[in-house]
Each structure stands twice: as C-alpha cells, then as structure tokens.
Amino acid sequence: MGPESATMLNEEEVRSRLGECKNPEIIDELYTFGQALAKESLHNVQITESKATSLAAYGTAIVTLLVSSAFMWSRLGNQWTLWIAASAGLCGLLCTVFSVRAMSLKEYQCISEDEWLKQECLSGNVAFLKGFRILTLWGTIDSNTKAQANKVYQLWRAQMWLKVSVAYLFIALLHIAFLRSTGDRL
C-alpha cells in the first residue's frame, strides 16, 4: 500500500464521483462496501482505545511500583539510582498521560435523523437513496479516520515513553546490582 492508497477525498469529490455513477448495481456495491468500512472504522477505534488502556495501566503500574518502593530504592543504591528511578517514573507518567489523551472523548460526525430520513430520499428511488447513504457513510468514515489518526499518534508517544521507562528501570536494576557486587555505595 503506497501513498496512493491513502489518498483522502473531500466531500465535493465524493459527490462528483457519485454523480457520475448511474449503474444501480455499482451504487449497491458501493453502499455495501461503505457499510463494511464504517464498521471497520468503529472497530479500529475500539482496538486503539483498548491498547491505550493497556499502556495507561503499564505506565501507572511503573509509577506505583517506584513510588511504593522508593524507600527501598534509596537504601539499595545511591544518588544515581534515585535519579534513574525518578526518570523511569517520569517516563511512566508521560506514558500514562499520552495514553489517557488517546482515550479521551473525540467528536465524530455521525448520521443525524435528518440524514437518515432525508425528505428527498423518500421518493422511492432506491439508487438515489443508496447514493445519499454512501455520502453519509463517507462523512462518518472520514470523521473517524481523522480522529483515529490523532489517537494513534498519542499511542505512539505513549509507547515510546513506556519503552524509555522500562529501559530506565533496567538500568537502575543493573546499577544496583553493580553497587551490590562491588559493595560500593558511592
């Protein structure tokens, strides 16, 4: 999938393309495919928010672990150990913040009652009705896609901070092991 596959259309382009389509079978196929895309779009939002919840839990667990065991960290290591552990906690907190931002409520365009029961669509022309429904499905999918892109970016940031936090924890443990093996408490 190259850049061509990610080309987004605006409403005017969608209307223009639908206006060019006169074959009811093609309109029916576009309508069916649009319904599947709308379901997939909603499913992707649910998956993203589930991942955000997991990342927020991991970030919170790291912060909780470090805060609850701060006394032990200070006794086992030295000043450097505390700085490394504090850095791990800060990165875990940032992971949690970006995860929560990804889970925050976003405004999505959805199909209104007026669009659902549009007066012009009640004339009995099924192809016109499906064409209009394609346009409303496009609006919903477009809105979800834009909000989803922001959620994914926030999750990418959360994941990056979680990796850094885990790396700091690993360094802190290695540092403590080194201090313990040398009997040194610089």
Give the predicted TM-score (pTM) of the model: 0.73
DSSP state of 9: P
Do the domain assignments include residue 153?
yes
DSSP of 34-71: HHHHHHHHHHHHHHHHHHHHHHHHHHHHHHHHHHHTHH
Q: What is the structure's pLDDT at 182?
A: 83
Whether residue 75 lies inside any domain: the answer is yes
In this structure, is residue 56 part of a structural domain? yes
Domain assignment present for residue 60? The answer is yes
Q: Note the pLDDT tens digit of each residue in 66-101.
A: 999 888 877 777 888 889 999 999 999 999 999 999
Which range (30-34, 58-62, 109-113, 146-150) has the least confidence? 109-113
Domain of residue 100 covers 39-182
29 vs 106: CA distance, rounded Å: 30
Q: Please state at what angle helix 24-68 crosses helix 79-103, rounded to 10 degrees.
A: 150
Q: Is residue 30 part of a domain?
A: no
pLDDT above 90 coverage of the chain, percent = 32
For residues 52 and 103, give the distance between their C-alpha atoms in angstroms, rounded to a whole number. Answer: 6
In a domain, 34, yes or no: no
Q: Does 173 fall in a domain?
A: yes
In a domain, 10, yes or no: no
Is 14 in contact with 135 (CB distance < 8 Å)? yes
| Number of domains composing the chain | 1
Chain centroid offset of residue 125 CA = 39
Per residue in 117-152, pLDDT tens? Answer: 566 666 767 777 777 788 888 888 888 888 888 899
pLDDT for position 114 = 64
